Chain A
């Protein structure tokens, strides 16, 4: 019985949300109670969010048993049956599914996520961490580092896909002795959580990436701009910075090389537009986060007017791997123009939602159906939204599109930060466009008129359509404003805000037309177009009457009930209340 066993509990935000903390505590209590010599540790997100809370049991023969849905109440049986009794609990074991989902993934950015304890610098170092830093300090000139990154073909993972090596070179070549490195961890795309998972699961990889960037461009100071909505990520990053400093990976005279570099965390205060470089800089300087005209680019005049290189979390986390393994190896993954891998946050109506990292160029179909396990409840796939509010929605006949920067732009979508929201037949495309416009309207900083007013007008038009009050002219107006907003906005937010509308118009125009001309919403989402009635399945139980907030339902007991359409507010409470499928929605 005295075998060395390690229990690893996934404690990323998603794991904690599913109850991971309670599971972790319970393990701690029971291991103590039973007097077991079991090593308990926490780890980040392995990406299989639908199985959370997840627990790995590692035995000394090197086997890993991964269990899913280990809520607090299941801990006892895991300890008694598996750890003490040596019997695997096959009901909860997810090894097979895990290998199926991860088989086609290549984990570069997520190489340590879900495997190491994010709070342990020793774990990171044991996983070859900070080796890339040592390598550059010992054997590489800054120019050689930039050459290597350029040769790898790495492009910014934050959305626009600008070549990282080029950005670093430009910053290096800008005159001046004070330069800055900034990490953009202001992941504002609603539906994307890759950056959060990386910072929560492997913060040191980002720190090391920033150190390498600092060395390459000649900066002594860096800032990490993290969303305040990610408290756990901030906590773990702060711990990583403190530990790195203690181990002389950060601070003055790093590893006795003479290279000095300091890092600070700045908490974002909640503004989507701050994902834009110049707006982010304004925010770092304590101003309203409003974008500026480029040029000058941040590489020329950035933070405090000094040359600044801003890169995304995922980009930084990849950098140490490239330095360690070589540009050639990185470029061997992906396509010619989009090298390497990309992390996607797969969510929506997909069976196996979570984080996946795949080589660029994999088809949408492979990601959604092969890795993601297809659509929930066996429903029909309708579309997939890529790149969040700035991206576009692609239909079924484009499922074979390879996922790389250029192919997506060509189809009207974009890589964005990597959010991938899958939609089925119960999603209304007009409503989706309205949802995104509502978001961008709220987040528009107000500097450019086209964006400020255009997004509002577009939203109003979309609302009219979803209410069945629009005409054919409104559709034309929508298209006109969309192209104007694209043309007339300074920054990426405005330039891309119309994308969800334009792509849904391009690929799902029939749904718009149905709303306008037939006053119908095929997905049964747009309330104003729905009519609630009660059919003959009704047994007259009165359950719906009790639940109706506006007393719109009448009827005697054991007799067919009726909904007063004048009073009905279409809240759907009656559908929930009815156990006999008697409420009909059309």
Chain B
């Protein structure tokens, strides 16, 4: 799907991928959310520049699409880093000290939750409850779950990512 085709635009994403998804949903303006979900699945994000294009194809005002993209936390307008650090900040993790872990990650990576490092290496996200409350505080790093985190454990995990460049 992500092969570089003729339409590969200077912004770094392929309109063909978007077309394929739109076609799959028969250009149905009522399926904006699943369409955007699938575009994001394929491209890793919803390029801001693609919104007008999608709107045109669906005969939906771009403002409505932009509205949907910015309303739901799932959608990203920027590409993600190579590695992902997802810290749970749900209630149980908060009670278990997630804030300390968050501070520690920020200290190590110099980015806040929701940001990506300048070199595009790591995206740090805070999510509300991934449902492993008895393992709190929890983070999911590149798909792997790390339980009962301490700042020390966290620092080790982060330095492992940093060194994996």
Chain A residues close to B by CB (< 8 Å): 13-14, 16-18, 49-50, 52, 188-193, 196-197, 228-230, 266-267, 269-272, 283, 285-289, 345, 347-349, 353-354, 385, 388, 419, 421, 423, 427, 432, 435-436, 439, 445, 549, 571-573, 576
Asked if residues B147 and A189 are in contact (CB atoms below 8 Å), the reply is: no
Stretch of B7-15, B49-57, B124-132 lying at the A interface: B124-132
- Is B47 interfacial (CB 8 A cutoff)? no
Tell whether B120 is near chain A: CB-to-CB under 8 Å. Answer: no
Contact yes or no, B34 A347, CB < 8 A? no
Q: Which residues of B contact A271 (CB under 8 A)?
A: 71-73
Q: B103: which A residues are within 8 A, CB to CB?
A: 571
Q: Interface on chain B toward A: helix, strand, loop, or mixed SS?
A: helix
Residues of B within 8 A of A (CB): 29-34, 36-37, 64, 67-68, 71-75, 89-92, 94-96, 100, 103, 107, 127-136, 138, 145, 147, 150-152
Whether the Cβ atoms of B95 and A421 lie closer than 8 Å is yes
Asked if A50 and B72 make an inter-chain contact with CB atoms under 8 angstroms apart, the answer reads no
> Can you list 28 A-B pairs, Cβ within 8 angstroms, ordered by A?
A13-B130, A14-B132, A16-B145, A17-B130, A18-B135, A49-B134, A191-B90, A191-B92, A193-B131, A228-B74, A229-B130, A269-B36, A269-B37, A269-B68, A270-B73, A271-B71, A271-B72, A286-B33, A288-B67, A288-B71, A347-B134, A349-B95, A435-B94, A445-B71, A572-B100, A573-B151, A576-B151, A576-B152
Chain A positions within 8 Å of B107 at CB level: 549, 571
> Do B71 and A421 touch (CB < 8 A)?
no
- A421 near B92 with CB under 8 A, answer yes
Q: Which of B29, B34, B128, B132 contacts A190 (CB 8 A)?
A: B128
Query: Residue of A at shortest CB range from B31?
Result: A286
Residues of B within 8 Å of A267, CB to CB, are: 33-34, 37
Q: A286 and B136: CB pair below 8 A? A: no
Quick one: closest A residue to B36, CB to CB? Answer: A269
**Cβ-defined partner of B129 (8 Å) among A189, A228, A266:** A189
Chain B residues near A288 (CB-CB < 8 A): 67-68, 71
**Contacts known (A269-B74, A271-B71, A286-B31); A423 close to B133, Cβ less than 8 A:** no
Chain B residues with CB under 8 Å of A353's CB are: 92, 133-134
Taking A13-B130, A286-B32 as contacts, is the C-beta distance between A49 and B91 under 8 angstroms?
no
Q: How far is the CA of A333 from the CA of B109 in the complex (A)?
A: 53
Q: Which of A14, A50, A549 has the most CB of B within 10 A?
A: A14
**Which chain A residues lie closer than 8 Å to B64 at the CB level?**
287
Q: Bound complex: CA of A427 vs CA of B136, how far in Å?
A: 15
Q: Report the bound CA distance from A503 to B77 in whole Å.
A: 39
Which of B75, B91, B134 contacts A354, CB < 8 Å? Answer: B134
Distance of A288 Cα from B68 Cα, bound (Å): 5
Residues of chain A lying within 8 A (CB to CB) of residue B31: 286
CB neighbours (8 Å) of A17 from chain B are: 130, 132, 135, 138, 145, 147
Q: A14-B131, A190-B128, A266-B33 are in contact. List 5 more A-B contacts (CB 8 A).
A: A266-B34, A286-B68, A347-B133, A419-B91, A571-B107
Q: Given A13-B130, A228-B37, A572-B100 in contact, is the A421-B145 Cβ separation under 8 Å?
A: no
Cα of A327 to Cα of B46 in the assembled complex, Å: 49
CA distance A191 to B131 in the complex (A): 7
| A287 CA / B96 CA spacing, docked (Å) | 36
